[in-house]
Amino acid sequence: MDKIHLNQMAFYGYHGLFKEEKKLGQRFLVDLTLFLDLKKAGKSDAMEDSVDYGVVYQKVKEVVEGQSRNLVESVAEEVASNLLNTLDKLDACLVKVYKPDPPIPGHYQSVAVEIYRERE
């Protein structure tokens, strides 16, 4: 299956279990892999045969910078649901949401949740 990748999209959101996370907010990064047939787009060179990356970015931004959620898992699920319900050409998506600065002790680059969802 063909794929489109949007990597390390950066947003500022208010997700987390702690009051400070919901009040102060923090950075979130999103990697997205869209699964769809790109053969027609490759031959036609026409946008209507593919997916507009700018539209995808805005849809992800609306979720990540929108309603506060407790869990990154919920953010990822909402991104996948939004994309699959609004982009007709999309067959499936892989969504990875990074939380680079979670308020937990330890040394690491980030924590992340990755989900794969297909159109039903």
Average confidence (pLDDT) over 84-108: 94
Domain enclosing residue 47, as ranges: 3-118
Question: Average model confidence (pLDDT) for the chain?
Answer: 96
Task: List C-alpha distances in Å: 90 to 15, 82, 84, 87.
Answer: 27, 11, 6, 6
Active-site hit among 3, 40, 61, 99: 99
The pLDDT tens digits of the residues spanning 51-78 come to 999 999 999 999 999 999 999 999 999 9
Maximal C-alpha separation, the chain? 52
Nearest to 76 by CA among 63, 89, 59, 58: 63
What is the model's pLDDT at position 120? 84
User: Which residue type sits at 40?
Assistant: K
CATH number at residue 86: 3.30.1130.10
Is 99 a catalytic site residue?
yes
What is the model's pLDDT at position 108? 86
d(CA 77, CA 3): 19
**Structural domain total, the chain:** 1
